[in-house]
Structure 1
Amino acid sequence: MSSHSDAIKFAYWVPNVSGGLVISNIEQRTGWDIDYNRKLAQIAEANGFDYALSQIRFTAGYGADNQHESVSFSHALLAATTTLKVIAAILPGPWNPALAAKQIATINHLTNGRVSVNVVSGWFRGEFAAIGELWLDHDERYRRSEEFIRALRGIWTEDSFTLKGDFYRFTNYSMKPKPIEPLPEIFQGGSSRAARDMASRVSDWYFTNGNTPEEIRKQVDDIRTKAKANGHKVRIGVNAFAIARESEQEARAVLDEIIAKANPEAVQGFADQVKNAGKASPEGEGNWAKSSLEDLVQYNDGFRSNLIGTPEQIAERILKLKDAGADLILLGFLHFQEEVEFFGKRVIPLVRELEAARDRELVAAE
């Protein structure tokens, strides 16, 4: 019988960046300040969420006028909770692996091992230019991220770490204290071939943009086949924007309003940035290659996962994403505190019931 560890996990995007999770002028009762976010983390923890993912942004853009730094913000959320794991986004370039390894190892000790990292390869060229960081070609960004991850793991596990890389160099570096076991989990995102290949070699978790179960399955099969050939295991997180309401009609009306009130200039600006980043990949496809402007109103194609409707409809669709290979659902919401609570009270228990029913069927079949 499958154990509880096979239960699908739930994460939410931390709104540590202003403007919410949709590029729309619709009302969003979501705050980017620390008081709002501490309370949100406590609500999420009390209502069945496993992880929170903080965002990294250095400059304004697409409604994000204010941005709190991810690692220090993640630590504040960890300090306000007891079981929630927080994933801090880190950007190679501004961060050196020596600093990141030290920061995360310390927070790991301070929080009983609840901190993880999300290594972001970078899609916002204007941001790199603004802070004087070199903008590498698409595949070079992933090559650097892979070396960054190898450096983190080496520093965390070896007593005398040496690396002669193209981007990073270490000579007999011994960092102590090392993180407590198990090591901090390493997440990454992306949908390009370079991103999938990197995940199949080094990452613990791979985040993909929102999509249908059929399209998710194709990515999962590709990554898992490659990972197996590399003697590596990687788990899959899927982005989704959840609109859970008492009726499907009510949920769809919210989606229509988000799109109707979208900020067209900001959406187009975001589309141009991300599509340019993706076109630079050798196959000419990045994370957002097939996204429509309506899709891009939500940063990570979250509407395409279709978790929009009643709690029952959403729970069944989550099971379909799980069947396609998803191990975790990463959620965005319009009004975070109230909707994380509603989702935790109304949707997650239904998912657990469906999982338990499936377990009973498997046992009966055996």
Structure 2
Amino acid sequence: MGTSPRLGVWTPISGNWAVRRHPDEYLDGSYADNRRTVVEAERLGLDTTLIAQHTVNPGDPDGDVIDTWTTSAAIAEATSRIEIIAAVKPFLYNPGVLAKMATQIGHISRGRFAINLVSGWFLPEITRLGLPLIDHDRRYDYSREWLSIVEQAWAGGPVTATGDYLRADDLRLRPLPYAGSPPLVYFGGESEPARALAAAAADVFLINGRPLEGPDGVRAVIADLRSRPRTGRAPLRFGLTSFLIARPTESEAKEEFDRLWRLTQEQRKPIEGADPARVMGRNAVGVASVGTNGGTLSGLVGSYAQIADRISAFADAGVDTFLFQFQPHFAEMERFATEVAPLLRSRHGAPVG
């Protein structure tokens, strides 16, 4: 059935993904939690990890949240094989400074580093930092200018740019990226401006779970992205984010989903300040779901065999990278790695890329 998909995990940058006060764990999102997550994921044979980025905790204004970039550098030193994807909101970083930091982490990791470009949906974070609030569609114009400078710097420069938002003047950064290969650019966002930018300039497009559609809905997204203009880059690849609940039987998995759903409702705090233009948020309205970024909307709730079948169906639709959330985090990550991942690898062989 072709090459095995790449399997990965989100790191818990601000603690637990679904239930803040889970009866079987409490992660505080500390560096220790995140380091342990990635080291353990690597030991379990997982291929990649995504470290999301927030300066202000979007779920709890009094809650902690780690810094993504210092954490990524330290985790790069603590690991030897797993890919590290660090999210970045371009309006928080000068593109030359970010290109320099990403290059350095690429050297620390010996080429295992990538970025996830996030154009920003949590508006209070922008305003509390005193930054100008750019409307939804124009943020993607900003991101396009920003990424162009970053990639020109990775290519060696010199970069001279005068755009609507950003400028550079004869910028040359050394050293160049590790082994001459710049970090991959992951990209998420499902609005029209997001899809247009991803089709033109991303390496991997991350798709969020969506209700009822399953692999057919993902196949439609992939067909749309592949139909758009793209010049001078390798073919666009695709990833899927999901909260995953696997159990020996489907009924046990559904019972666990019901339990987590009840706990999330008991503890729910509304996320204030999400951009109303954000497509991902609208996809989940009125549908029971656990987790973020689509959560369980992708349908990865079931027996070990059912989960393997559905991941295989997504892979057949064109997804080669999966990023999962779990709770309780370490027990469920190990359950997946020991019960489901072997089923996938027996069917598909070695992971992609």
Scaled by the length of structure 1, the TM-score of the pair is 0.88
Say yes or no: does 1:90 pair with 2:88. Answer: yes
Establish whether residue 304 from structure 1 lines up as the match of residue 297 from structure 2. yes
Q: Secondary structure at the match of 2:305?
A: helix
1:76-123 Cα deviation digits (max 9, x unpaired): 221111001111111111111111001111111122111111111000
Of 152, 161, 175, 2:159 maps to 161
Residue of structure 1 equivalent to 2:110? 112
Q: 1:329 to 1:184 in 2, by over 3 A?
A: same
Tell me the CA shift for residue 43 of structure 1: 1.6
Match of 2:333 among 336, 340, 345: 340
Percent identical: 28
2:3 is the counterpart of 1:10? no
> Hey, what does 1:192 align to over in structure 2?
191
Identify if the C-alpha distance between structure 1 residues 231 and 60 changes in structure 2 by more than 3 Å, giving closer, same or farther.
closer
Q: Report how far residue 296 of structure 1 moved.
A: 5.5
Partner amino acid, structure 2, of 1:47: L
Cα 1:150–1:244 change in 2 (3 A) is same
Instruction: Name the residue aligned to 1:41.
Output: 38
For 2:267 and 2:44, locate their aligned partners in 1 and report how far apart those are by CA, in whole Å: 37
User: SS at 1:221's partner residue?
Assistant: helix
Alpha carbons of structure 1 residues 264 and 274: separation in structure 2 relative to 1, 3 Å: farther
Equivalent residue runs for 1:278-317 within 5 Å: 278=278, 286-295=279-288, 297-317=290-310
Q: Aligned pair in 2 of structure 1 residues 133, 176: CA closer, same or farther (>3 Å)?
A: same
* Aligned mate of 2:65, from 61, 64, 67: 67
User: Using the alignment, how far apart are the partners of 2:94 and 2:289 within structure 1?
Assistant: 31
Structure 1 unaligned residues grouped into runs of 5+: 279-285, 357-366
Q: Secondary structure at the match of 1:57?
A: coil
Any conservation in 2 of the 1:227–1:233 contact (CA below 8 Å)? no
Q: CA deviation at 1:298?
A: 2.1
**Aligned pair 1:130/2:128, yes or no?**
yes
Corresponding position of 1:362 = none
* Structure 1 residue 24: Cα displacement: 5.7
Residue 158 of structure 1 and its aligned partner are, at CA, apart by 2.9
Q: In 2, are the aligned partners of 1:23 and 1:263 still within 8 Å (CA)?
A: no
Local SS of the residue matching 1:153: helix
Give 1:30 shift. Answer: 5.0
1:30 to 1:293, Cα distance in 2 relative to 1, 3 A: farther
Deviation at 1:216, TM superposition (A): 0.9
State the AA in 2 paired with 1:195: A
* Maintained 8 Å contact 1:25/1:262: no
Q: Distance in 1 between matches of 2:205 and 2:26?
A: 27
> Which residue does the alignment assign to 2:227?
225
User: Is 1:21 aligned to 2:17, yes or no?
Assistant: yes
Instruction: Decide which moves more: 103-112 or 291-300.
Output: 291-300
| 1:288 Cα deviation after fit | 2.2
Q: CA deviation at 1:61?
A: 3.2
SS of residue matched to 1:27: coil
Kept in 2: contact 1:62–1:266 (CA 8 A): no
Q: Which moved more, 1:296-305 or 1:116-125?
A: 296-305
Per-residue deviation, 1:297: 4.4
Aligned partner of 2:101 in structure 1 is: 103
How far apart are residue 39 of structure 1 and its match?
2.2
Q: How far did 1:28 drift? A: 5.6
Q: Report the alpha carbon displacement of residue 60 of structure 1 after superposing the two structures with TM.
A: 2.8
CA 94–295 in structure 1, closer or farther in 2 if over 3 Å, else same: farther
Kept in 1, the 8 Å contact 2:87–2:117? The answer is yes
Over 3 Å counting, the alpha-carbon distance change for 1:179 and 1:162 in structure 2 is same
Offset, 1:63: 3.8
Candidates 288, 308, 318, aligned match of 1:325: 318
CA 1:152 to 1:295, structure 2 compared with 1: closer, same or farther past 3 Å? Answer: farther
Q: Which amino acid aligns with 2:152?
A: G
Residue 244 of structure 2 corresponds to residue 248 of structure 1: no
Secondary structure in 1 matching 2:110 = coil
Helix, strand or coil at the partner of 1:48 = coil
CA distance in 2: counterparts of 1:169 and 1:229, whole angstroms:
24
CA distance in 2, matches of 1:230, 1:297: 39
2-side partners of 1:221 and 1:274: how far apart? Answer: 28
Q: Residue 48 of structure 1: CA displacement?
A: 2.2
* Matches of 1:248 and 1:345, distance apart in 2: 18
Secondary structure at 1:88 match in 2: strand
Partner residue in 2 for 1:204? 203
Please give the secondary structure, in 1, of the residue aligned with 2:281.
coil
TM-aligned CA distance change 1:23 to 1:72, over 3 Å: same
Deviations 1:156-211 (A, max 9, x none): 10331112222211111111001113211111111111111111100111112113
**How many Å separate the matches in 1 of 2:267 and 2:81?**
41
Q: What is the RMSD computed on CA atoms of the aligned residues? A: 2.2
The one-letter code sitting in structure 1 at the alignment partner of 2:206 is F
Query: Which TM-score applies when normalising by structure 2?
Result: 0.91
Are the aligned partners of 1:210 and 1:300 in contact in 2 as well (CA < 8 Å)?
yes
Q: 1:141 deviation in Å?
A: 0.8
Given that 1:51 and 1:86 are in contact with CA atoms closer than 8 Å, whether structure 2 keeps it comes out as yes
> For 1:232 and 1:322, how far apart are their aligned partners in 2?
19
